[in-house]
Structures are given as structure tokens and as C-alpha cells.
Amino acid sequence: MKRILLQPAYVLHRRAYRENSFLVDLFTREYGCLTVIAKGVRDKRSALQGLLQPFNPLLISFAGKGELMSLSHAEAAGSVAYLQGDCLFAGFYLNELLMCLLQKWDPHTALYLSYEATLRAFHAAPPLMTTQPSGCEAGLDDHLQEKAQHTQKYVSIFPANDRSKMPADGRLRTKPEHLQKILRSFEKYLLDELGYGIFPRSDVSLHAMFIPDNYYRFVPEQGFVTSELEHHENQSGNVFSGRSLLAFAKEDWQDEASLADARRLIRFILAPLLGARPVHSRRLFIK
């Protein structure tokens, strides 16, 4: 029987199992994604029910013989960074990506640390309090108003005394461009970790690959090829300016157009990897 003691982990998702237990999907530092049975946790007297929440840093112990292990211990591993509003949905989006794209028991220690740093960045993101959003902010707000339909299934993972942390009306906002920068950086790192990185690591190779004033078409499983079709003629397609690609590779987010192009490119790359699996939380970020 395998026994793992005090492993750093985060809860990605949990669901009811039998009468009083949960199946808990975890992202651990040394063992990657795995699922454990948390027996008896749904009992009102269980202290673990409030602890086994997404975005809480944990130390967990588990044991078992097969792929599905039994949780034997869990404790807090630091202060909880409550995510609210836009950042809460962004956090759920990261969790869905990890669950869809990572293989069980495939360790990704560096990615775990990146995930942890991204959650801290969400928590530290400056809020934007507004009652009259406009422009791209209004585009996000339209979908936050759908939270009554799309987030009901998420509310149940918060214990009753913590639900006050969630925004009641979707008005607790983060500047969209700030949130997009954090998301694009994590997605880029995730793709690199999974072996789907699209940019060379050295500056010399990068600048040899992309010329700022040229345009490039992204072809799945092939990469970028030079295109005669300019960016403004293909804003919703798979053609990107060399300038935007260089900015994305360097995570230089000063130009809004480059940030928008990075989002569009990520969608093209993730589509075949996700296949038919829906990413529900992402619907809240569609403009």
C-alpha cells in the first residue's frame, strides 16, 4: 500500500460521493493531479468540509493501492487567499484547464509553483469598483450577470459561512486587461510544460523566427508560416503580426492589440487539446 504524508496540494474540484463523502480532485506539488476519496467529510461535524475548498493551500496525506486513494489527513498550509468577482472565475478557469490537460499522477512541480504564484497574483489584483462599466469592461460584466445560471454549481463548494466572500451582484471587478495579462502568462507556461510551447527560448532564435512588420499564420501541429494576409484583414482568424508574437513571447503586455492577439492565439492552440471538453468558467470571460 502506498502512503503519502503531508504533500502540498490544492483542491481543483470536489463532488458528492455516496452518502457522506466527496471525490476530491487535487493538484499536488510532487505527484501532479490525482483524485482521493474524502470519507465522511460531508457530515456536518467534519472539520474538513470547510478546509477542502479550491484555492486553499493544503498539506494532505493519503493512502491506497490503486489510482484512487483515500484521504487520511488534511491541514491548512498557509493563509487562505480568497478570490472574488472576476478573479474567482479566473481561478476556476485555471482549475478546469489543469483537470482537462494534465494526466493523472504526472508530476509538474514547476507548474504547481506557477499555479500558486498565479493565485497570489489574482488575490493581489487591484479591484475596480464600478456601477457603470463601459467598453470592454461592460463586455465582461454582461457575462458576470449570468452568474446566477453558470455558478450555482460552484456555490455549493463554499461552506455557508464563507459564501459572503463571493460577490452577490458581480460588481466586484478587476481591470480586464490586468486579469488577461495574468491568464496569458499562465497559459503560456502551461503549454510550455506540456510540450506545446510555440516560441523558441533564446532571443536570437525568437527574432530570427518573427519579424515585427511581417504576418504569420498559425497552423496546428505545424506552427507559424509566413502569411501575405495582413492582421487587420484577419482579426478573428489565425493570422498574427510578428510584433504581437514577439510581445507574447516576451510577455510584454504594454500594447492592448498584442494582448488581444495573445488571447486569440491561445484559443487556437487550446482548441484541439481540449477537444469536445467544455471549459464552463471561460464563458464568463467571453466579450
Domain chopping of the chain, boundaries: 2-76, 85-285
- 210-226 residue pLDDT tens: 999 999 999 988 889 99
Q: Which CATH architecture has domain 2-76?
A: Beta Barrel (2.40)
CA 23 to CA 5: how far, in whole Å?
19
User: Across the chain, what does the average pLDDT equal?
Assistant: 82
Q: Which of the four pLDDT bands, split at 50, 70 and 90, describes residue 173?
A: low
Alpha helices in 30-104 (DSSP H): 85-101
**HSE of 8, CA atoms in CB hemisphere, 13 A:** 12
Q: Which residue has the higher pLDDT, 191 or 47?
A: 191
**Which of 20-24, 73-77, 117-121, 273-277 comes out lowest in average pLDDT?**
273-277
Q: Which residue has the higher pLDDT, 73 or 162?
A: 73
Flag whether pLDDT at 131 surpasses 50.
Answer: no
Measured between alpha carbons, how far is residue 117 from residues 43, 112, 121, 195 in Å? 33, 9, 6, 21
Residue 193: what pLDDT? 95
Q: Which residue has the higher pLDDT, 131 or 220?
A: 220
DSSP-assigned beta bridge partners for residue 63: 3, 70
Flag whether pLDDT at 34 surpasses 70.
Answer: yes
Residue 163: what pLDDT? 41
Burial class (CB in 10 A: 0-12, 13-18, 19+), 100: middle
Element of type H or E holding 272: helix 256-274
Flag whether pLDDT at 160 surpasses 80.
Answer: no
Q: Which residue has the higher pLDDT, 216 or 176?
A: 216
CATH superfamily of 85-285: Recombination protein O, C-terminal domain (1.20.1440.120)
Task: Say if 2-76 and 85-285 have the same CATH topology.
Answer: no
Q: Which residue has the higher pLDDT, 153 or 212?
A: 212
CA 86 to CA 176: how far, in whole Å?
8
